[in-house]
């Protein structure tokens, strides 16, 4: 059985897979003025970045408030010594924040 390839079609397929970025594509269609998929993807990237930033800041603020008001640890853990005394508590908090 012999397979024949249409080399021109195969080369065209390879050329269509060249690297590009979404910033190179138009955001709006010049004929209709409607937002293209490239514009939608850039908007989704911005929304995703804002959601991740908000979540990280909210988590840090919530954890700091919980530590100050309730004298809790960042992570619930068992230690074979008393962690409520002053220098030990701060050292354990630093070790938990490090990881």
The reported pLDDT for the residue numbered 1 is 56
Separation between Cα atoms, residue 29 and residue 44, nearest integer Å: 18
The reported pLDDT for the residue numbered 99 is 57
Count of domains for the chain: 1
The reported pLDDT for the residue numbered 50 is 97
**pTM (whole model) above 0.85:** no
The whole domain housing 92 covers 7-98
2 in any annotated domain = no
1 in any annotated domain = no
Q: For 13-71, write each residue's pLDDT tens digit.
A: 788 777 767 677 788 888 888 888 888 888 898 999 999 999 999 999 998 898 889 88
Residue 36 burial by Cβ neighbours in a 10 Å radius (0-12, 13-18, 19+): middle
């Amino acid at each position: 059985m012999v397979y024949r390839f249409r080399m021109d079609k195969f080369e065209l397929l390879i050329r269509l897979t060249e690297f590009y970025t979404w910033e190179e594509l138009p955001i709006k269609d010049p004929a209709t003025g409607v937002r293209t998929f490239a514009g939608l993807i850039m908007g989704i990237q911005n929304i995703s970045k804002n959601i991740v930033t908000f979540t990280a800041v909210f988590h840090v603020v919530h954890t700091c408030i919980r530590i100050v008001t309730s004298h809790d640890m960042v992570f619930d853990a068992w230690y074979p010594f008393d962690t409520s005394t002053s220098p030990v508590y701060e050292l354990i908090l630093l070790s938990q924040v490090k990881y």
